[in-house]
Amino acid sequence: MYKYSLILAISALCAFSQNTYCHVVKSVAQTSRAVRPIINHIRVIREFKQRHAKKRIPSCISLQAASRTQTEAYLAKPELKQKVESCWRYELQKHETLIADILAREKEYASTHYVFYHGQRGNLRILQDIIKELFMLFNLPEHACDNFVFLRDWTQGSTAHDVTTFMDAADAMHMGYWNNYTADFMNYLLSVNVSLFGNLSERYCNECTFSFFITNFSCYISDSQILTDLINAFGLSVMHGIKFYNRINDHRFDQGQLLQIFIPKPSINCYVYRSFAGGVPFGRVDRYIPETYEFKYQRDPSACILSTALEQYINGSLDAHVMDTMQARILITPAILDPANDIHIHRYQLSLTPEEEAEYEEEIKRLVHALVTEAYAAGTLKVPAKCTAERLLQYMQRTP
């Protein structure tokens, strides 16, 4: 009882006007030290109340059906909008500018592309940037890479050129059992949401992209395995590659990263499929999916077609629960890993200052330069066909 009385008393003190509060602080500066802890308590409570006051979605969001984006369609459902504002009170204020940028870019591409969101650990960008530097070296940067993030080595990817072929092969290999946390699926599928705040329900809260971004979390991604596979693919030194990687990774990225992936609408059903949690495709039987769900969607085959489901999503004809829990999986093929295919991947991260970002980029260049020149001298370098000997020699003669 005393605890709650004290909280009420301190809260009452916090109700002072701003002028009164400032006057008290100024006066106390000249009084005894015994009074100062009270002012500190007042300051802490004021900050706590400001931090946990109900925050609203940034005002830049338009909820008009005629021009809605996928995230705007999600927030047009009152119960989902309320859930976002309740769950992410402090974060909506802290990241207001970032969220506004994300939503503005989603609107920029809305007429030509569908958007997908993926959150992951911040340090995974090291692998992505190493791959990008190698791509720029070996491919005579004939394609712009400014708005592209390499999810994997561009020479790799699924041998299945579309999701239907992949699903048929996976069904045959695994006898209808799907689990995208096993190697056969993880190497070729990327789990994505169709809106920034999607999968915020109690059942799927750990599937929310924004949550992964805030908590600096990834689902079962082995960065060491990706690095080893990458180094082996180009004949580089595994020992030196891991050493350089660990040096760059040392306490640098303490925040997650958010990937915003735009795929052209005409290509969507080729590269992406609608899924349940765990990667199970709609319309495919799996022991983990309740029969009621499977039977429901078998009665509506159009629900299995991602492009149709997304149009229903945008126009708001789906109920809030379906919109909140909708997921998809991107099949990582050579086409998805090629920036020339009108696929745009934007990355958002807050870990580095501009100065630190410049220093980090130089470190990546030095790392790749050292690995490539060492492998060339040792005769182990595996050079893709597009890279000419002249280009390679020019690169190695450059001072990193």
- CA 359, CA 340: separation in Å to the nearest integer? 28
Please report which confidence band the pLDDT of residue 271 belongs to, taking 50, 70 and 90 as the band edges. Answer: very high
Looking only at Cα atoms, what is the longest distance across the chain?
80
Listed by start position, the domains of the chain span 2-52, 116-397
User: 184-221 pLDDT, tens per residue?
Assistant: 777 888 999 999 999 987 554 568 999 999 988 877 66
- CA 228, CA 249: separation in Å to the nearest integer? 15
Name 391's Cβ contacts closer than 8 Å, sequence gap at least 6. 137, 140
Residue 89 tokens, joined = 């009170």
DSSP per-residue string spanning 333-387 = -TTTT-GGGS-EEEEEE-S--HHHHHHHHHHHHHHHHHHHHHHHHHT-----TT-
Bridge partners of 345, per DSSP, are: 261
Q: What is the pLDDT of residue 66?
A: 54
User: 222-260 pLDDT, tens per residue?
Assistant: 677 788 888 888 999 988 888 888 888 766 777 899 999
Residue 23, pLDDT above cutoff 50: no
